[in-house]
Amino acid sequence: MKKKIIMFLIIGACLASCKSKKTYSDQLRTKNVLSERKKSTTVKKETRPGNVDLPSEPSKFIPFRIESVGEYIETFAETAQLEMMGYGIPASITLAQGILESGSGKGELAMKTNNHFGIKCHKGWEGDYDFHDDDEKGECFRKYNHPMYSFRDHSIFLTTRSRYAFLFNLRHTDYKGWAKGLRKAGYATDPRYPQKLIYLIEKYQLHKYDIQVKKAGYDKQTIVATQNDKVHTVEKGDTLYSLSKKYYMTVSELMQLNNLQSSNLSIGQRIKVKVNNIN
């Protein structure tokens, strides 16, 4: 009897110790993330560009339960098309990436964060976050109260990073070019990433959503630009200062309109400017 009591006490002590260590580990990771945020450049929360403004993000996390790939497509096809109209990313690519990255909305990360594209925190992210094991253990991932904000953030992520700029020179129905380009630009480390996207697009005929947008009368320029914006493709010698003079805008306005965190520009990068500022 004494041996059993001693054994229970030892087990209880071990469990308490493990729980304490886990809590301390989580607290330490959170502290490190917050510390990195303080070091990074503060990004003001501006109204995000796009043809369609999103409704206010819910104040609480809304869990989504998706039962199948078909249900995922039915749920988010229109969202992907609206993002295509606002940002020029093929709806087929957005849907295929969402299906692959989120496990059709059933993956662990998607279930606990509504993050359907595996976008990590990165410096400058001021939204909610959670930890998840990916390439490394306990990495920081962005968290959204509703999946539609994950789709919008995916659009902004691709349109505000210069390494993806060349993709927007492709036809918005060229899903194969986009799939290969995403891998080339470093979106994923999986060498078969393009083939996986193309397989999903063709198996579920996701390219029909690109064609529907095209038939609605959106050419490449109106898709990439918002209703009140024009797109300037950066050429050699262009700077934010020279563009501000050309389009009668301030450097600050250009940075806010394009969600830029620095003044560095790359040749081929697309910069939105205000149409009503052009003579």
Six-digit token string for 227: 């209703």
Same domain, 238 and 218: no
Same domain, 122 and 180: yes
Same domain, 99 and 181: yes
- pLDDT per residue, tens digit, the chain (279 aa), is 544 444 444 445 444 444 444 443 444 444 444 444 444 333 333 333 444 677 777 888 988 889 999 999 999 999 999 999 889 999 999 999 999 999 999 999 999 999 999 998 877 777 889 887 766 677 899 999 999 999 999 999 999 899 999 999 998 889 999 999 999 999 998 999 999 999 999 999 999 999 998 887 654 444 444 434 578 888 888 888 888 877 777 888 888 888 888 888 888 888 888 754 443
Q: Please calculate the CA angle 116-261-142 and round it to the nearest 5 degrees.
A: 20
| CATH assignment at residue 137 | 1.10.530.10
C-alpha–C-alpha distance, residues 15 and 22, integer Å? 11
Query: What pTM, to 2 d.p., does this model score?
Result: 0.62
Same domain, 89 and 217: yes
